[in-house]
């Protein structure tokens, strides 16, 4: 299952993010802003608990997030989305998964895994700006579900049908939230029209 969040504010910012003339500073800012909007939608059904809060006037019956939340950026580009989620849920814990693509097999290889301990009951949010072939995302989901995690979602900025289908085949119960489902992958496995190499554009290494 996937949800394409088509709010006009997201689409406006996405147009600026896609622009080849947008520099890395502005690109980072836009990625953070878009991530916050998409996560706002993704967390709409998060579990809450009732609490009583003393206001200056009276006691108010309120709600607070009940889930323990763990954000897992896929290195390195996923780091560019971290501030957007922590702006919404500053108490979230953060784990990291490092993946690179083997140039011969074209499959992801895990080189770093640091997840918080005792959080298998938490809601895990796997983040990566681009859901292209889906290989890294599926590998990340394999890693966290293999560790016993039962609740997870994927948040990305730009995706394509091939990547979404890869996640649905391997983890049909895990939803994907994205700002855009683009046309396809090209022969180099880049999303079309996409936004180029998100890691390079985030960190100024292009």
pLDDT at 105: 73
Could you read off the pLDDT of 83-107 as tens digits, one per residue?
999 999 999 999 999 988 777 776 7
Beta bridge partners of 53: 60
Q: Is 70 exposed, middle or buried (0-12, 13-18, 19+ CB in 10 A)?
A: buried
Dihedral (C-alpha) 187, 189, 191, 195: value to the nearest 10 degrees? -110
Could you read off the pLDDT of 9-61 as tens digits, one per residue?
999 999 999 999 999 999 999 999 999 999 999 999 899 999 999 999 999 99
CATH number of 2-203: 3.40.50.2020
Catalytic positions, please? Answer: 101, 105, 197, 200
């Amino acid at each position: 299952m996937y949800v394409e969040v088509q709010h006009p504010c997201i689409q406006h910012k996405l147009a600026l993010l896609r622009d080849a003339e947008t520099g890395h500073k502005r690109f980072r800012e836009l990625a953070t802003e878009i991530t916050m909007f998409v996560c706002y939608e993704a967390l709409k059904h998060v579990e809450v608990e009732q609490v009583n809060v003393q206001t200056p006037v009276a006691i108010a019956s309120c709600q607070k997030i009940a889930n323990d939340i763990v954000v897992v950026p896929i290195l390195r580009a996923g780091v560019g989305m971290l501030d957007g989620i922590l702006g919404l849920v500053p108490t979230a814990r953060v784990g990291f998964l490092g993946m690179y693509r083997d140039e011969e097999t074209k499959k992801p290889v895990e080189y770093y895994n640091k997840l918080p301990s005792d959080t298998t009951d938490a809601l895990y949010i796997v983040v990566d700006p681009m859901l292209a072939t889906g290989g890294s995302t599926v590998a990340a989901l394999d890693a966290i579900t293999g560790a016993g995690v039962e609740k997870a979602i994927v948040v990305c900025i730009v995706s394509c049908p091939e990547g979404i289908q890869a996640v649905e085949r391997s983890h049909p119960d895990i939803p994907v939230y994205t700002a855009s489902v683009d046309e396809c992958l090209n022969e180099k496995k880049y999303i079309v029209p996409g936004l180029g190499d998100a890691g390079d554009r985030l960190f100024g290494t292009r």
